[in-house]
Amino acid sequence: MTQYIIQTEELEFAYPDGTKALKNLSIAFETGKKIGIVGPNGAGKTTLFLTLNGVHKATKGKIYYHGQPISYEKKELLNLRKRVGIVFQDPNTQLFSASVFQEVSFGPINLGIPKDEVKEKVMTALIKADIVDLKDRPTHFLSGGQKKRVSIADILAMEPEVIFLDEPTAFVDPKTSEELMIFFDQLNQEGKTIVLSTHDIDRVYTWADYVFVMKDGSVFAEGLPEEIFRNEKILNEADLQKPWIIEVYEVLLKGKPHLQELPIPKSKQELFDLIEKL
């Protein structure tokens, strides 16, 4: 049976001014998977993350963590925030301290862990995020990519089970975003469930195990990436583009219909292998 780490049932969230950012949203994240969320700006991706971490209190519906409905009791909320980490899109909104070391220690200290253990956790997080050399550097001297890594280390230090990354590859150069995607793979191999929202269709197609398409505050479609990104109807209605690998694959398919029996290429390499078989 598939295990779901987080599930929601008819979730609704409205901002104090009445705008409904999430409407009737039912979503289930499978434990240990790499999950991508795509959809236009304003579809409610960020709001969803904040609601699942308990920062926004759902106005309707239920959230289940490991099958248990979450209440908004203080102790339980802290526990939820420990296990569900969010990395914000703009590191500048997340980083509050001028010292990288202090910044990363903030989360674990809030969890009430003894100080020497906190130090250990901070160091582990810095090593994992590959920024030990930035430990004594002030935050405002860092580049965009370095700030991003610090904001990820912030969350890793709390040792969450699931990490939500809000457009992690926005504002970073292609090389860094490539490195980040590999980094997310490593985190996933350590058993963490990774959920990332993105506009980078090409990357998410190659990377994700499962994809959700969000539109107007609810889940518009979901499925395996090779299903979602080949479905013209979904792509059109959600204003999404087709990944280039799929585009090439479909052109190939037109000439050689027998290729349909082979699996759909998921990466550049798989596509090249397919071309060689022609």
Partner 1 sequence: MISIDHYAYINRLKHIHPLEKFALSIGTLMVCMFFKTWLLHFLVIAFMSFLILVYAGIPWKAYLKLMLVPFTFLAVGVLGIALTITNTPSIITIGFPVGKWMLGVEKAGIDQALVTFSRAYASVTCLYFLALTTPMVDVIWILKQMRIPRVLTEMMTIIYRFIFVLLETASMMYLSQECRLGYISISRSYYSLGQLISNLFIKSFQRSHELFTALSTRGYSGDIEVLEEEYIYCTKNIRWIIIAEMFFIGLAILL
Positions touching partner 1 (CB under 8 A) are 50, 53, 55, 74, 78, 81-82, 85-86, 88, 92-99, 101-103, 105-107, 109-111, 115, 118-119, 122, 137-141, 154-155, 158
Q: How far is the CB of 248 from partner 1 (least distance, A)?
A: 39
How far apart are CB 153 and partner 1 at their closest, in Å? 12
Give least dist CB 22 to partner 1, A: 16
Q: Which is nearer to partner 1, 136 or 190 (CB)?
A: 136
Give the helix/strand (H/E) hosting 25. strand 20-25
Taking the least distance from each CB to partner 1, the nearer of 118 and 187 is: 118
Q: How open is the CA angle 103-164-168, to the nearest 5 degrees?
A: 75
| Token reading at 7 | 């599930």
Q: Which is nearer to partner 1, 82 or 215 (CB)?
A: 82
State the DSSP code for 70. P
Angstrom distances, CA of residue 11 to CA of 27, 91, 259 = 9, 28, 42
Shortest approach of partner 1 to residue 98 CB, angstroms? Answer: 5
**Cβ nearer to partner 1, comparing 110 with 189:** 110
For strand 84-87 and strand 162-166, is the pairing parallel, antiparallel, or unpaired? parallel
Backbone angles phi, psi at 190, to 5 degrees: -75, 0
Q: What is the distance between the alpha carbons of residues 149 and 87, in angstroms, rounded to a whole number?
A: 10
Q: In angstroms, what is the minimal distance from the CB of 138 to partner 1?
A: 6
CB atoms within 10 A of CB 107: 24
The amino acid present at 157, given as its one-letter code, is A
| CB nearer to partner 1: pick between 27 and 118 | 118
